A and B are shown apart, each in its own frame.
Chain A
Amino acid sequence: MFLDSNQALDNGAHLEADVCIVGAGAAGITLALELQSSGLSVLLLESGGFTMDDNTQQLYSGDGGAGVADIGLTTCRARVLGGSTHWWAGWCRMLDPDVFEVRDWMPYSGWPIDRAALMPFYQRAHQTLQLGVPEYDVHALSEALGRTLLTLDETLAAHLVYQYSTPMVRFGHHFRSDLESSEAIDVLLFANLTEIVLTEQGDAVSRLECATLMGRTFSVSADRIVLAMGGVETPRILLASNRQEPDGIGNAFGHVGRFFMEHPHYYSGSVLVVDEARDTALYEQTMAARMSSPVEGAPAREVHVRAALGLSADQRRRAQLMGLAATLKPFNPANPAGRAEQLAAETVGQLLSAGMSQANQRYLALDLRCEQRPHPDSRITLTDDRDALGVPRVRLRWLVTDEDRDSVARTLKRLAAALGVGMSARLWMPLDEADLYHPVNTQGGCHHMGTARMSALPEDGVVDSHGKVHGIANLYLAGSAVFPTGGFANPTTTIVALAHRLADHLKEKTP
């Protein structure tokens, strides 16, 4: 059932539920729907309504440009039912196994769970996201599609696969009727969390203070509270709730708001496809393949996929490199480096493409999505400025380090080598280090991760392996804020998988 906080609640009202989830995005809605059959009453608080409105959206406003690029605090998130899936692009991929591992060469790496522990929940996430079978075998897909791949030395580099949520699951629209008809779930719209209040002992949440932009205030108590507010708002409210703990909730070891990670997205480098028999369409666009189900007797399903170039987990382990996926794109004015006509006119480009007709000269830009190291100084802090509800606004300083850049350059060289052995394409890298490492078009992917990291020990992070805040008995976090490392894959698949896992955990904890 949906309720409008401005109309359904008296000022000063106090609500109670078994579970209160704050934030109706991918994590919050997945969790709520999973819990509805558990016998628990679920209260789902959403800041927005069914459609976007500017006043609500401005609650996000802050300084997002204190680091390498402006994160776009009000433009890449959505305070609306469904959260930021309101305008996501549907890219899905599980995190690779190495992302979960302690990488000796990468400080602060390692999750307290491994990929195998998450696999059953990734399977469920594929259902939630309408992905069909979890098919990531590029050769099987290429065969099913009747498309060739660029030949490369697969000891040096690899083809990677993304699946696309199709039809794209925008959670607010897709699950609206499920939420509306649920007897166990009350969705409270226009409900903004303004403060988390702890018990006197400080070891549990006593209540949530909430407000609407129309001036209503109310509070919520619940046996278990889950913050599913995203990688910026989650640390913001933890830091801002400093009535009892001056440094904020869950911040005894100073990790809240730190280790902010994104997936740096930028164009860097190009390929010239010299084997005219090789097809690049699968790297350039989404394609639908009909794949048999891994479940015997189950009907075949269509999967929507796209290939990318990168390294496999094993290759990255051996070379001590971070993840990167390079899709291919025709050049466009937004790409300042290595335009096709420049490359074609350049001496080496002329030689490499000699003998090919102009129509067959395929110069394609490498569109990169990169992993970055967790760094404690890449962080969210609070400012003295406050939003319309009195909550301090954030300043976000996103760092990209020399190690991050070096990993990109070394990965591109391996790609060049793999394509060179395979004789299918040649790779060009920008000469200017500023272009190679830090192109002017660097931007994030609206993937805000790491600011309330998961850890086995309280001194190493904010939440435990299930998402419970260390030292707080009834407070859980869901979403990409808890990722200790972010890999290169878009986070939604993992966000949803972790939400399924947390739902099972909360059900088990039910008396």
Chain B
Amino acid sequence: MNVLTNRRQFLALTLSSMGAVWLGTGCSDDTTTRLERDPDFTPSEPINAFEASLPPTALGLTALLQGWFAGTDRELINTIGERYLTERSMSQEDAVDQLRGLILKVDDFVQLESALEVWDLDLVTDFAMLQMVSVGGWQLSQTETLLCVLSAEMAASS
């Protein structure tokens, strides 16, 4: 496992012990993501209204989120995203503004790993630059929290 994957999975550790997995591929006995096993995997889901309000991405938001949160409990991720918005009384419009910057960084990548590496680096940079947010008291990087928000908003709009 390379270092960048490690960083990502610092938050989104593969769940071998949890029943609900996002990709629906059942349990995994290691931290290898489905995308790493199947690099040609390219989901094709219709773009909904929420996704349409964000910058277009070559890879698609669903694929990016699946890559980032591979194997992690979707409900937990979404709950964290919702909680972040609730704790700050943030509207969807405000959330979209924040998410736009996140997505613009990866909008033209065609290689999933390259796109995820950008967010990986952002995650570490957030900590290094003290750009953290508190969710339920946990000090999380801004990037990883916004990815939870993105997941929550995608789920809510689907």
Contact = CB atoms under 8 A, between A and B. Distances in A.
A239 to B, nearest CB: 44
Contact of A354 (B76, B137, B139, B140): B76
Interface stretch (B52-60, B91-99, B106-114, B126-134): B126-134
A429 B79 contact: no
Contact of B73 (A153, A274, A351, A430): A351
Given A348-B80, A350-B76, A426-B139, A355 B14 contact: yes
Interface string A152-167: 0101100000000000
B33 interface: no
Contacts of A353: 13
Interface string A341-374: 0000011111111111100000000000000000
Give chain B's interface residue range (CB within 8 Å of chain A): 20 to 34
A127 to B, nearest CB: 42
Contacts of A417: 127-128, 130, 132, 139
Contacts of A156: 128, 130
A413 B127 contact: no
Contacts of B10: 274, 423
A194 B106 CA distance: 77
B105 to A, nearest CB: 19
Contact of B6 (A347, A354, A357, A423): A423
Given A357-B17, A414-B130, A416-B132, A352 B137 contact: no
Contacts of A427: 138-139
Contact of A429 (B6, B12, B13, B137): B137
A346 B134 CA distance: 14
A354 B136 contact: no
Nearest to A357: B17
A357 B18 CA distance: 11
A428 interface: yes
Nearest to A269: B137
A90 interface: no
Contacts of A346: 136, 138
B85 interface: no
Contacts of A423: 6-7, 10
Contact of B76 (A347, A414, A420): A347
B144 to A, nearest CB: 10
Given A423-B6, A429-B137, A355 B17 contact: yes
9 contacts: A153-B128, A347-B136, A350-B76, A351-B73, A417-B130, A418-B127, A426-B138, A427-B138, A429-B139
Given A274-B13, A354-B76, 16 more contacts: A338-B137, A350-B76, A351-B11, A351-B77, A354-B18, A354-B73, A355-B15, A357-B17, A414-B130, A416-B139, A417-B127, A420-B132, A423-B10, A426-B140, A429-B134, A429-B137
